[in-house]
């Protein structure tokens, strides 16, 4: 890492009309001790360097600068979405509202300082600090960052200098030329296809300075439906994450055939976040350690949703073995050259259909978990945890599937410029139906013998 560039912080995707901010909505049962909750939050943020820092532009490079400001608001009215400018303020805001025995907390966190896994760690640390009650001036296990130190020059104690290297071992270094070749093929595929959009086929350009308030909605699976999905996964041999991906492709195909049949033959593009953390270098603080890969599919080519799932498993296995999430770095570099390659980066070649991520069983290592799977900290019980991914430019809807308290939740963020509320409701409802009914009770013997990880 010879230099620090903006792609590392996802700032290249950050715009006033498409802020790279993650809303996190939490519902608690119980009456919180306000003073103790705020002090626990302050202590937790001290333990996570990126959440208490801002950026400065030093000779064209973003440089971290320590910032002591803590933004905690008690308010009945919580904004739907806000923009966090890391050059003006830290990358986190907290809004809390106590109503009788129900506590609602909303976090707004910039995607550059944290990803979904990091946010879960942050919330778990916060609740542990709240339960412990020892929230004085003790800085905890946190580390300091240099007042004007670029990411690549921070001390090894913070671990920030390793961010983005993805724990490249010597063996993987030897395989690097092959990985780069596969990455090149992925880039060519990305720019050669003309993926169809879920929203309107013709989009008027935004007015200069226009701001969009992205909408959020969610769909919850019952405990029985969640158990049914797990049983489907065990019985068929499919990974649940691949089932989610196949069901989303199939659902988008159905939606296009109904609303835009003339476009239903085209490729659909789904962007999939890949957590790049590894066992040898676990992050002990909040940081974005996610890369992206893109899958293009024509679901109409496949006889069934289960067949589509099988081919997705084949492709995803190769991606994970070879760490092809590095392809995203190439895509961003192409994007940064957009002004020099305007024909290559036409708008219709950069539209993503949707983003899908499965966070699995979040908080699975928490010390606060009760038998029900819910987190309990003192008098507070976390009843529901929803994390809404940001909506990138040229993307109409993003979805994130998470498992909390033994139930699946589908959280969707969508752009009102491209989709209406009834469209999103229709997509999520069909997605749930296809996921529960679209997979067989058995697979051919040759397939079940395959290792599905």
Q: What is the 3-state secondary structure (H, E, C) of 90-106?
A: CCEEEEEEEECCEEEEE
User: For residue range 306-325, what is the model confidence (pLDDT) as tens digits?
Assistant: 999 988 887 777 666 665 55
Please provide residue 370's backbone torsions phi and psi, each rounded to the nearest 5 degrees.
Answer: -95, 180
User: pLDDT: is 371 or 329 the higher one?
Assistant: 371
| 102-110 and 61-66 beta bridge pairing | unpaired
Classify the C-alpha dihedral 185-188-194-197 as positive or negative: positive
Here the tokens at position 161 are 């200098």
10 Å Cβ neighbour count for 145?
Answer: 20
Residue whose tokens read 């049949």: 261
10 Å Cβ neighbour count for 435?
Answer: 26
User: For residue range 51-63, what is the model confidence (pLDDT) as tens digits?
Assistant: 888 888 777 777 7
What are 27's strand-pairing partners?
104, 384
Q: What is the pLDDT of residue 329?
A: 53
Cα 158 to Cα 49: distance, rounded to the nearest angstrom: 8
Give the best-scoring range by mean pLDDT among 360-364, 367-371, 400-404.
Answer: 400-404
User: For residue range 109-149, what is the model confidence (pLDDT) as tens digits?
Assistant: 998 888 888 899 899 999 999 998 643 444 333 444 443 34
Q: What is the pLDDT of residue 400?
A: 92
Cα 274 to Cα 230: distance, rounded to the nearest angstrom: 21
Task: For residue 287, give every residue at least 6 positions away whose Cβ sits within 8 Å of its Cβ, in sequence order, or none.
Answer: 50, 113, 114, 115, 118, 159, 160, 163
User: pLDDT: is 13 or 447 the higher one?
Assistant: 13
> By the 8 A CB rule, do 83 and 21 touch?
yes
Instruction: Please give the average per-residue pLDDT across 292-298, as a whole number.
Output: 76
Q: How confident is the model at residue 441 (pLDDT cuts 50, 70, 90)?
A: low
Query: Does the structure show a pLDDT above 70 at 172?
Result: no
By percentage, how much of the chain surpasses pLDDT 70?
Answer: 66
């Amino acid at each position: 890492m010879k230099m620090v560039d903006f792609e590392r912080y996802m700032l290249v995707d950050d715009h006033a009309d498409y802020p790279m901010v993650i809303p996190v909505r939490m519902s608690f049962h119980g009456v919180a001790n306000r003073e103790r909750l705020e002090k626990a939050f302050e202590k937790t943020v001290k333990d996570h360097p990126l959440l208490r820092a801002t950026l400065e532009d030093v000779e064209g490079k973003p440089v971290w600068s320590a910032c002591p400001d803590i933004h905690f608001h008690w308010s009945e009215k919580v904004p739907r979405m806000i923009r966090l400018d890391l050059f003006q303020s830290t990358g986190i805001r907290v809004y809390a509202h106590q109503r009788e025995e129900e506590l609602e907390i909303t976090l707004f966190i910039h995607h550059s300082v944290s990803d979904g896994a990091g946010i879960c760690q942050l919330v778990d640390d916060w609740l542990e600090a709240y339960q412990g009650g020892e929230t004085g001036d003790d800085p905890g296990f946190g580390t300091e960052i240099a007042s004007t130190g670029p990411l690549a020059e921070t001390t090894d104690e913070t671990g920030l200098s390793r961010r983005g290297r993805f724990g490249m071992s010597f063996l993987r270094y030897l395989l690097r030329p092959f990985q780069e070749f596969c990455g090149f093929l992925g880039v060519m595929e990305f720019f050669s296809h003309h993926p169809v959009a879920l929203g309107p086929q013709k989009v008027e350009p935004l007015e200069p300075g226009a701001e969009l308030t992205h909408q959020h909605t969610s769909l919850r699976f019952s405990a029985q439906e969640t158990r049914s999905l797990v049983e489907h996964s065990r019985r068929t041999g499919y990974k649940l994450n691949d089932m989610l991906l196949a069901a989303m492709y199939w659902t988008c195909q159905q939606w296009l055939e109904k609303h835009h049949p003339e476009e239903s033959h085209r490729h659909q593009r789904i962007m999939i976040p890949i957590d790049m953390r590894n066992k040898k270098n676990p992050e002990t603080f909040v940081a974005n350690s996610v890369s992206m890969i893109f899958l293009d599919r024509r679901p109409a080519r496949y006889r069934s949703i289960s067949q589509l799932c099988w081919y997705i498993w084949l492709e995803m296995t190769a991606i994970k073995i070879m760490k092809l999430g590095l392809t995203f770095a190439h895509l961003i570099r192409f994007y940064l050259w957009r002004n020099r390659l305007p024909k290559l980066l036409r708008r219709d070649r950069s539209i993503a259909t949707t983003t899908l991520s499965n966070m699995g069983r979040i908080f699975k290592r928490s010390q606060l978990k009760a038998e029900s799977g819910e987190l309990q900290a003192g008098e507070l019980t976390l009843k529901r945890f929803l994390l809404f991914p940001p909506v990138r430019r040229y993307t109409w809807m993003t979805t994130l599937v998470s498992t909390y308290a033994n139930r699946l939740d589908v959280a969707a963020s969508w752009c009102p410029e491209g989709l209406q509320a009834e469209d999103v409701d229709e997509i999520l409802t069909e997605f749930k139906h296809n996921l529960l009914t679209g997979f067989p009770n058995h697979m051919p013997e040759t397939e079940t013998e395959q290792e599905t990880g």
